[in-house]
Amino acid sequence: MTIKLSTVTIPQQELTVSYTPDVVVIGGGATGIAAAIAAARNGADTLLIEQRGYMGGMGTAALVPAFCPYTDGEKPVIRGIGLDLMEKMKQASGDIYMSMHKDRLDWVPIDVEVLKRIYDLEVTQSGAKVLFHTFVDQVLSEGEQIQGIVISNKSGRSVVQAKLYIDATGDADMAALAGVPFHIGGEEGELQPGTMCFILSGLDKDKFDKFIQETGQGGQLPDTVTQAQQNGDLPEGRKRISGTAWLSKSVAGFNFGHVFGIDGTKAEDLTYAAIEGRKLIETQLRFLHKYVPGFENAHLVHSGDQIGIRETRRIVGDYTLVVDDFLQMRTFEDDIARNSYFIDIHLANAQSTMAIKHLPKGQSHGVPYRCMLPQGKENLIVAGRSVSSDRPVQGSLRVMPNCFAMGQAAGTAAAMAAESNTGFRGVDIRALQITLIEQGAWLGDREEAVFEVVAAGMSPTAEVKYDEEA
């Protein structure tokens, strides 16, 4: 049965122009934070718009418990703004935290409240302005140019008119409103599931570590999870605890379990996922109390403000990064970042399996500038997990360290385009690459050789401790 929806015509409305920055960044997750900092530091009048009252995206709103790897197993491939922000969080998290994680660069636990303050400080000190509790609900376009965006918040509706626009929403929300073509999910519309992450207190890490050592199964507890599923104490699906990120010996964050069949671009699905996710946490907490030594007194102190979303839209851009580019570890003339994170596509339903593909240790592939340029728009760039790629590559690019790197490139390009009064396609790629390297980014050995004069002024790469996934 087809349900015909009724419609209402909204009267024409005259809106105030509230902001006229050089660059406006939509979305305050990892991508938008790096983009805003980079744009402002490079001289652009920058405004960052975020729907919540804090920045951080999935790392703070969804409580993703740890940063994915910054290294390729030998050296950091994500540097610049993203690495600096993580290090600042570590240094501000206290002596106990530093005693546990000082030398780590991979799977570093996220201290959520500290990270929120670090983001506030670093973005505002860069010179960028921040506007919280605000949505973009309309894009005003004329041909290939965006003329403005309509924002909604407690102050009402108004228009922001900028020279350049950065979509850092993670879902390509602004690009979709602007009519940019996109793909979503797999061939049958399947999407990776969401996860409602959470933080527990009252734990005994020493007792837990002894249990791991005695059972020999590792911190992901696959045998214990399987046993609980066979006993009916956990639902079918994920066969392990993906991440336990210890903030102290008694507090840890968890990435555990899936909510299937949700589309993160639909409010109805996000609502369902929030309710189901919290129900699932209750089940998981009972499991931890019953099966895992050291968790007998575990207490839930925080669940995500929303379900963690791994996958939604992927724009159609000037270049689509494909799985063969990943496997062949290709380098591009317009590289603006490197990626070494494995292809990580979570099961679409409880009966399917995860797709994982690692690159060799010490290897990475390039991320070309062109995959951030949406077809049909000149003054819009899309960075983060919704760049132009096929689905397997999106399963690798989507993580926060990569989003920092792409955001830094997008923000730097925006500042350059604002200064030269061009669109994003008018940016001098070589000048962009040189600027990124000068400001701490790493574009691989080939690019550093090309820019050896610049690279010679940089500090040599320090030794790092590579941590296997916990």
Q: What does the pLDDT look like over 248-280, one tens digit per residue?
A: 999 999 999 899 999 999 999 999 999 999 999
Residues pairing with 67 in the sheet: 108
Task: Report the Cα 443 to chain-centroid distance in Å.
Answer: 20
For residues 194 and 277, what is the distance between their CA atoms, to the nearest angstrom? 9
Sorted by sequence, the CB contacts under 8 Å of residue 125 that are 6+ apart come out as none
Q: Tell me the pLDDT tens digit for each residue of 85-121.
A: 999 999 999 999 999 999 999 999 999 999 999 999 9
Give residue 240's pLDDT. 84
pLDDT at 178: 97
Q: Is the pLDDT of residue 78 over 80?
A: yes
Share of the chain above pLDDT 90, in %: 86
Confidence of residue 460 (pLDDT cuts 50, 70, 90): very low
DSSP string, 200-214: EES--HHHHHHHHHH
Give per-residue burial for 104-128: e unless 16+ CB within 10 Å, then b: bbbbbbbbbebbbebbbebbeebeb
**Best CA proximity match to 358, nearest among 384, 326, 336, 319:** 326
Evaluate whether 182 touches 387 at the Cβ level (below 8 Å): no
d(CA 364, CA 79): 14
Tens digits of residue pLDDT in 354-392: 567 899 999 999 999 999 999 999 999 999 999 999 999
- pLDDT of 464 reads 42
The CATH number for 18-186+312-455, chosen from 3.10.20.90, 3.50.50.60, 3.30.420.40, 1.10.40.30, is 3.50.50.60
Let me know: does 414 contact 427? Beta carbons within 8 Å.
no
DSSP three-state, residue 175: helix
